[in-house]
Amino acid sequence: MSQEIKIGLAGLGNVGAGVYKNLQRNGDLLAERTGARFVVRKIAVHDTTKDRGFCVPAGILTTDWNDLVNDPEIDVIVELIGGVAEASRLVRAALTAKKMVITGNKALLAEEGHELVALAEKEDVPLYFEAAVAGGIPIIKVVREALVGNHIQSIYGIINGTSNYILTRMADAELDYAVALKEAQDLGYAEADPALDVNGGDAAHKAIILAWLSYGLWVKPEQVFVDGVENVCRADIEYARSLGYAIKLLGVVRLDESNRVEVRVQPSLVPSDHILASVNGVFNAVAVRGDVVGETLYYGSGAGQDATSSAVISDLADAAANLDNEAGCQGFAPHGFYGEAMPIDETVSAYYVRLQVRDVHGVIAEITRVIADHAIGISSVDQPKAHGSSELVDLMLVTHPAAFGAMRAALGCIESLSCVGAPPVMMRVENLGA
């Protein structure tokens, strides 16, 4: 006989609908594998009359999520309403009512995760969130379970499918950014307002969660350096390719030599022979380096109804096992408990810089002098072709590793030069083997 797990589902949008439909479709399979029969007892929605394209028994719909929290028969509440304020009230109420909670809400966890985890521990009920990072890739379980015997040294992730699709199309089809974005919107890969995806904010939320899992530090959103893909152009992609790199939006989490945690998101030049460089389209991939296992890579669909609902259902299976064992809150001790985020200006890497300069005598000498004055070495300089107008030409250069603060100061001085006609574009050149 299967144990019956009663679920309160908050939200029946894209992911919520996927959870509901896939529980119906694979209910027998789940019962065979977990010994539990999952029953959706109540669903909280904004509008109970909306046509969702599939059948939901009218009797289980409600417009008040308190009906889920206050139902004594509901064992697990799945929060998929999105946003922060309302979702926070729901999750806190559910945990206080001693109900297990599953959420895919990365923004909520990035902003309030430290408080919610503490509340879950206080109430001795689990909080699951596999769906919050990288959709169908089980990266949360990897860090918490599969790599439990490792000190996590670094995590590099392509963790936003929209940005990765745009960069892929710019590279493969030689599209400009605006055209690639419009294509992504037409195909449903990008929202009508794509800001959170293309400006790096979505990836930053996920990086914060990975940093906590790895190092026990809840980095505040304002401590994470975030740069998006809006200023990447075809010239950058073409020049990066000529140097043996692909441009990817990377979320980076790593521990430095002085045990400070570095968390950042930005377009980066990735060596073309590294497997991350070949992750294309809307797919995600996360490379995790542990001191015992070395580098491991996890690849798959990072978003979408089925991929994300798969992660939610995985958490439901864990919740069922927890209920069966009456284990209470399943604690997790990250690698140490580091108390400091590394200031972005102290992070070190090599850099790619694209300048638009007036094609006059002495320009290169003037720019290289400014960079040298900031104690930064240059490994290559190239002036491939005209750009924008006959008066301006592109000037590309790659530096040796330097502190980010020194690089920003140098570019500030360069931008003020009369020979420079537009703000510089700068991207990191990542050494993924370090």
Tell me the domains of the chain and their CATH numbers: 3-138+305-325 (3.40.50.720), 140-301 (3.30.360.10), 345-429 (3.30.70.260)
Give the pLDDT of residue 336.
67
pLDDT grade for 198, boundaries at 50, 70 and 90: very high
Q: How far apart are CA 306 and CA 219, in angstroms?
A: 30
Query: Max alpha carbon distance in the chain (Å)?
Result: 84
Alpha-carbon gap, residue 420 to 411, rounded angstroms: 11
SS3 242: helix
pLDDT band at 383 (very low <50, low <70, confident <90, very high): confident
At 112-156, the pLDDT tens digits run 999 999 999 999 999 999 999 998 899 999 999 999 899 999 999
pLDDT at 141: 93
pLDDT digits (tens, 9 = 90+) for 231-266: 999 999 999 999 999 999 999 999 988 889 999 999
- Amino acid symbol at 352: Y
> What tokens appear for 156 in the block?
């590099």
Q: What is the dihedral of CA 183, 200, 197, 172, to 10 degrees?
A: 20
pLDDT 10s digits, 263-291: 999 999 999 999 999 999 999 999 999 99
Backbone angles phi, psi at 343, to 5 degrees: -60, 135
The radius of gyration computed from the CA coordinates of the chain, to the nearest angstrom, equals 24
Residue 39 to residues 9, 20, 74, Cα–Cα distance (Å): 10, 10, 9
First to last CA, the chain: 52
* Contacts of residue 132, Cβ cutoff 8 Å, sequence gap at least 6: 103, 104, 105, 106, 109, 140, 205, 206, 209
**pLDDT band at residue 389 using 50, 70 and 90 as cut-offs:** low
Q: How confident is the model over 27-34, as a mean pLDDT?
A: 94
The 3-state DSSP class for residue 357 equals strand
Q: What's the full length of the chain, in residues?
A: 434
Distance CA 142, CA 136 (A): 12
Indicate if the pLDDT at residue 340 is higher than 80.
yes
SS3 157: strand
Active site (annotated) includes residue 98? no
Q: Nearest to residue 184, comparing CAs of 161, 158, 202?
A: 161
Strand 76-79 and strand 100-103: pairing?
A: parallel
Q: Do residues 167 and 161 touch, judged by C-beta distance below 8 A? A: no
| Per-residue pLDDT at 431 | 87
- Rounded to an integer, what distance in angstroms lies between the CA atom of residue 429 and that of residue 250? 11
Active-site position among 206, 220, 248, 385: 206
Q: Identify the residue with better confidence: 160 or 431.
A: 160
Single-letter amino acid, residue 225: F
Quote the pTM value. Answer: 0.93
What does the mean pLDDT of the chain come to?
A: 93
pLDDT at 95 over 80: yes
Q: What secondary structure letter does DSSP report for 231?
A: T
Residues 272-293 as b or e (16 or more Cβ within 10 Å = b):
eebebbebbebbbbbbbbbeee
Least confident of 169-173, 357-361, 424-428: 357-361
Q: What is the pLDDT at residue 102?
A: 96
Give me the pLDDT at residue 322, please. Answer: 87
pLDDT of residue 259: 87
The single-letter DSSP state of residue 316 is H
